[in-house]
Structures are given as structure tokens and as C-alpha cells.
Structure 1
Amino acid sequence: MAVAPKSLEWSLPVPSVQELAIRGLHTVPPRYVRDDMDIIITVPSEPSLRVPLIDMTKLVNPDSQEQEIQRLHSACKEWGLFQIINHGVSDESLSNMKEQVQGFFDLPLQEKKRWAQKPGSLEGYGQAFVTSEEQKLEWNDMIFLKNIRSLQDRNLNFWPENPPEFRKSLETYSEDMSRLAVSITRFIAMGLGVEAQQYSETYREGVYNMRINCYPPCPEPERVSGLNPHTDINGITLLLECGDMAGLQVLKDGHWVFVEPINGALVVNLGHVMEIMSNGIYKAPDHRAVANKSKQRLSIATFCNPNSSVDIGPAEKLIKSGSPPLFRTLKIEEYLQHFYNRKLEVSFIDSLKI
């Protein structure tokens, strides 16, 4: 029997969901069945339940900037999530990354296992946050990579060398995500009325992690959870869909709303670092992933954080304007330690409130 993980920083080994799907199962194995959850909830297609779309060209154009920043501010406040177009990341960078991810998940299982997770680390190929032998499992396989932009801190033992261009494409893509994170956080800070340049610069040499997800076809998609409902703990998450199939859902006004993929767009999702910095003006939204009966879905999530010298706490300008701080201020190491050493059922954000 595997040794129980000491914290959420490592995960027990579990079967590959992709391999289960390849076997052509007609029913889902019991450990994946989530009859306790309403998985797919259809939502009326009314304008108020359409995910906001932000145009970066309007944010940088002085003539349209003020209006688009207001739309951005509203998206962050009302949804905590939006899609962004004309973001400046080249089609080549996006398509190369998609191609390499597809190539990796097309490999035989034994080849993928060359980059499997090891005890004591969440990094590598496997599943995240499996802390007991009885725990219900999610219908996904993933690769998790830490410090993707830091030459001295990244662990190349978990970076696939097959497909041969994987590492090179990831290197380019991570630089693009970093540049985009600096731009987006500057405009978000402008919407809040805090020191925009100063705040966004903390993301230039920030901490960037990546989770690459594979959601294989599922014989009973309404009985499984692709990815359980959760909120992100980082600053912002930049999500690239590798296809045109909707699988990401965000909770809005009690409804699970599909985030419909838009060609060339990226999904921007606020995490708890941004919620805390905004002193609760913005919220990190609950979101989840659902499976599909006939199609596999691949996605690439880049978790963007400010650099490790930055304290995580409400922006001074927001406190000085008369609002009391809602959250404690922590060093980023304390903040992450607090997250990884808590119980899964404990609300992380609530534990940081004053």
C-alpha cells in the first residue's frame, strides 16, 4: 500500500484515465462515479450568462482604453473570469504548444510514464491531490510543471523530451504567457485604481507553473467529474483550449456556465492572490471541468504569480481609501505553505480572512 501523502504537495499514484478510455468501457469504474454531484447543468442562453470578452487592442488604444478598462473591471468584479482576444501571442506559439501537448498524450503509456510523478512532488505526469486510497478520482490525466520560467528552479526531469519539440515550444510559450500576464495585471490594477505599473512588474520575474490537462472520452460523462469545483490560489490563470469543445464551466449566479472556446482567445481566470490584493472587490470564481462522451479535450493552464519577494495582502491604496483590510498579509512562502498543508475540505480563502 502506498504511503499516505504528508501534504497536498504530493499525490498517490492512480491508473491512467486515458488508458481506461482506450479499453472501450461501457460503464465508469466505481471510484470515478460522482452520483453526489450534479455534473452537467444546462443554462439558458441569456446575455447575462455569457462570459465577458475583452479585446486587448481596445485596452492599449488611448481612444477606447477607458471604456474597455471599465468592461474589464466589471468582468473581474461580476465573473472573476473573461476571455481575451487580440492578446499579442502569436498563432504559431499557440499552435505549436497545442501540437506538442497532443503529441505527448498520443504517446504509449509506458513512454508517458518516463515523466511520471514521484513521491513527495506534485510535478510530472499523473493526477493531483489524491491523498487517500478511498478518495473519489477525477476523469483526467495531467502533467504539472513548476517554475517553468526559472532556469535555476525548474526541474527538467519532468519536462517531456518526447515529442522532440515539446521543451522548445514550452520555453517559447511560457515567455509569451509571462509577457501577457504583465500586460493583463497592469490593466486589472488600473481598473482597481492601484499602482498599476508597480503591481504588474511583480509578474515580470514572477513564479509560473503549468498544468496540462487531458480529459478522455467517457462512457457516462454525467456520472464523473473531469475536474472538481475549485478556485485557483495564484494571481491569474491563462488557459488555452487545444480544441473547440466546451468543457470548462464557471459558477455564475448559481448556474454552471460553459466557457465556449473562441479560436485564438485565452481564458483569464482570477485567483485568490488577486482577490486578496483587491481586498475582496474581485472574487476568484468557482470553476470545474466536465467530460464528454465521444471527444477528448486537452487544455493548458498557466498559473501566474508575482515574484517571491512580494507580500500577499490587500493593496495599500485600497486600505488607505478607508476600507478595512479583509485579509491577512503573508509572505508568498507562508501563503503557499498554508495552502499545501491544509485539509482539502477547508476553504483556503476563508482561512486567510481577518
Structure 2
Amino acid sequence: MANFPVINLEKLNGEERAATMEIINDACENWGFFEIVNHGISPEFMDTVEKLTKEHYKKCMEQKFKELVASKALETEINDMDWESTFQLRHLPISNMAEIPDLDDEYRKVMKEFASKLETLAEELLDLLCENLGLEKGYLKKAFYGSKGPNFGTKVSNYPPCPKPDLIKGLRAHTDAGGLILLFQDDRVSGLQLLKDGQWVDVPPMRHSIVINIGDQLEVITNGKYKSVMHRVIAQTDGNRMSLASFYNPGSDAVIYPAPALLGKDAQVYPKFIFDDYMKLYAGLKFQAKEPRFEAMKALEESVKLGPIATA
């Protein structure tokens, strides 16, 4: 198995730029995942985010999770639930940060700043993908824009120690519905795996790195050149794994379809649809293969007249 792609973004500024861009392209084509270091978010700031996230879990969520687990005796395999404790933050188009209970002021302030840094990073990465794909700079951001800008939010998760990891997944296998996912994960407790060439491969925990993965919408826009990949989290017997997954997604009314510049002689394989329609379908089919979702959108496309793509 080839080594999991780890990319030093600082190398984009020197003579290794071309080679680094090639590694990014290969990762998008053949892995659907890569890990970035020297990405511009300081290690000290990431340490603060991690410290406050872990403190919040201990203070506000750990006991609730223990009570939930006690009510679900782990005697037989459980296939309809995940071994995770989570809450969702929405940043764009409108933040819900003020409405989330139990967040103290410092944590709210830090997460708002973290979201802003990740938003900038996501847009820089999308432009790197545009460059590799031969699309004009800003194309992917525009394709995601809709009428109110992109949807951007963070799923804050903790995966506590599990006494019987053979009976339940930390998070069941799925592909991500959206655009580009930026993950700040625990560097001490592993668990994230992706499916490559029929085998489950560990995504290595690395201090101060951010894991990037491709969502279903980028697969559609690239007409399958870049693909979203099945991944899961394995529950562990020891250690509490922290995971902050930030999703830079199209706006709800954005019209998604393969970029005409990428079709060339190839036929358009993927459908044209409104992102919100895809999300409604995904909600019930998250833990199933993605191909039937694309087929369902294709069937819908024939019965729905879509307007022109909205641009910023």
C-alpha cells in the first residue's frame, strides 16, 4: 500500500511547487484524502482549540454520553447508531454559535476565529484544485456560491473509549455529501480509516495537521476525475478521540453539475441538480453507496427544469 499522502503547503512557495501540486492531484484522483501541514494556522492556536474542545466535552457532554450508553447495553452488534458524542456549529451563511447552549464565551470566540481561518484555507485549497484541473481561478468557489454564499459548518465530535468495539462503529462507513472537508483530529488516538482498493487504510494522526477529503459535490463537478471515498471511524478501547470536521459545502440553492471545461470529448456522466435536493436524499441514505444517490438525482433532473447557475 502506497504511503498516505502528506503535503507540506509551504513547498508551494518555492521550487518544489510543481511536484507538490502533482502530489495534491494524485491524492485527489487516487485517494480522495490527503493531510496538510504548514497550512498557516498556528500550532499554538490549534492547541487552544483542542484544549477548549476537550474541556467542553468533559464538562458538558461526557455524563450525557455515559447515560445514553448505559441505556444501550452492548450485548449484540448495533448497526443503527454511532459511538460518538457530537454537536453542530453553523458558520455560513448565518452563524448559530450564539444559540448553542453550554459554550462558554472563550470557546465561542475561539471557534469563531477557527472557522474564519478554515474558511480561508478551504477557499485557497479549492483554488489549488482549480489550478490542477485547468479551471479558472475561483471556479469552484463560484460553483458553490448559490444566492447567499456557501454553507459552512463544523461537526464537533468526541469518540470516548468503547468497551466492545467489535459490536459498534465509532462512525459507520459513508462518503461525505458536500464539497471540501477539513478535519482537525486527535493526534494521540487514531480511528479514522478510508477505503482504498478494497482495503481499509488508517488515516495517520499527526500533530497540528489538517486532513482534507473530497465530498460528493466535487466528484460531480469534476465529472468523476476526483472522487469522494468511503470512510469510517473505528471505536477504540482506550483514549477519547477528538474530531472537528468542517464542511465547506455549496449553498442550499446552488446548481451543481460537471464543469463544461472538464467534459472535453467525454460525455457528462453526472447529473445536474440543486444541492438542497441532494441533501434531502442523502439524509436517509448516508450509510449506503453513493451511486444510487447520483442515479436518483439523474431521474429527478429529467422532471425538474433547473435555472441557470447562480454566481457571486
What are the superposed Cα offsets for residues 256-281 of structure 1, whole Å, 9 maximum, x if unpaired? 11111111110001100111111011
Aligned-pair distance for 1:160? Answer: 3.8
2:276 matched to 1:324? no
Which of 27, 31, 35 is residue 75 of structure 1 equivalent to? 27
Which of 182, 188, 192 is residue 129 of structure 2 equivalent to? 188
Secondary structure of 2:59 counterpart: coil
For 1:313, give the aligned amino acid: Y
**Which structure is higher in helix share?**
2
Q: How many positions carry a matched residue from both structures?
A: 281
Question: Measured at CA, do residues 170 and 155 of structure 1 come closer, stay the same or move farther in structure 2, by a change above 3 Å?
Answer: closer
Aligned-pair distance for 1:308? Answer: 4.5
CA distance in 2 between partners of 1:98 and 1:57 (Å): 23
Which of 228, 231, 251 is residue 175 of structure 2 equivalent to? 231
Structure 1 stretches of 4+ with a deviation exceeding 6 A read 110-113
Which of 190, 204, 210 is residue 154 of structure 2 equivalent to? 210
Question: Measured at CA, do residues 175 and 314 of structure 1 come closer, stay the same or move farther in structure 2, by a change above 3 Å?
Answer: same
CA distance in 2 between partners of 1:303 and 1:171 (Å): 15
CA distance in 2 between partners of 1:345 and 1:220 (Å): 21
What are the superposed Cα offsets for residues 292-343 of structure 1, whole Å, 9 maximum, x if unpaired? 1121111100011134553211111012x12111111112222323323x44
CA distance in 2 between partners of 1:51 and 1:311 (Å): 33
What residue ranges of structure 1 are gaps of 5+ in the alignment? 1-45, 114-133
What are the superposed Cα offsets for residues 200-259 of structure 1, whole Å, 9 maximum, x if unpaired? 456684211211111111112233200000100111110101332211011111111111
For 2:210, give the aligned amino acid: L
For 1:335, give the aligned amino acid: Y
CA distance in 2 between partners of 1:92 and 1:142 (Å): 24
What are the superposed Cα offsets for residues 105-135 of structure 1, whole Å, 9 maximum, x if unpaired? 111559979xxxxxxxxxxxxxxxxxxxx96
For 1:177, give the aligned amino acid: L
Q: TM-score, normalised by structure 2?
A: 0.82
CA distance in 2 between partners of 1:93 and 1:202 (Å): 31
Secondary structure of 1:267 counterpart: strand
Which of 224, 243, 255 is residue 299 of structure 1 equivalent to? 243
Q: How does 1:159-170 map to 2 (within 5 A)?
A: 160-162=102-104, 164-170=105-111
In the other structure, the counterpart of 2:8 is: 55
CA distance in 2 between partners of 1:346 and 1:258 (Å): 21
The answer to whether the 8 A contact 1:149-1:175 is kept is no
Aligned-pair distance for 1:72? Answer: 0.8
Aligned-pair distance for 1:156? Answer: 2.9
2:294 matched to 1:352? yes
CA distance in 2 between partners of 1:250 and 1:65 (Å): 27
Secondary structure of 2:200 counterpart: strand
CA distance in 2 between partners of 1:210 and 1:155 (Å): 11
2:225 matched to 1:281? yes
Secondary structure of 1:165 counterpart: helix
Aligned-pair distance for 1:188? Answer: 1.2
The answer to whether the 8 A contact 1:272-1:349 is kept is no
The answer to whether the 8 A contact 1:59-1:187 is kept is no
State percent identity of aligned pairs: 26
Question: Measured at CA, do residues 109 and 305 of structure 1 come closer, stay the same or move farther in structure 2, by a change above 3 Å?
Answer: closer
The answer to whether the 8 A contact 1:279-1:325 is kept is yes
In the other structure, the counterpart of 1:92 is: 44
CA distance in 1 between partners of 2:253 and 2:127 (Å): 18
CA distance in 2 between partners of 1:255 and 1:339 (Å): 24
Q: How does 1:1-354 map to 2 (within 5 A)?
A: 46=1, 48=2, 50-61=3-14, 63-109=15-61, 136-146=80-90, 148-150=91-93, 152=94, 154=96, 156-158=98-100, 160-162=102-104, 164-200=105-141, 205-308=149-252, 310-319=254-263, 321-340=264-283, 342-343=284-285, 347-353=289-295, 354=298
Secondary structure of 2:81 counterpart: coil
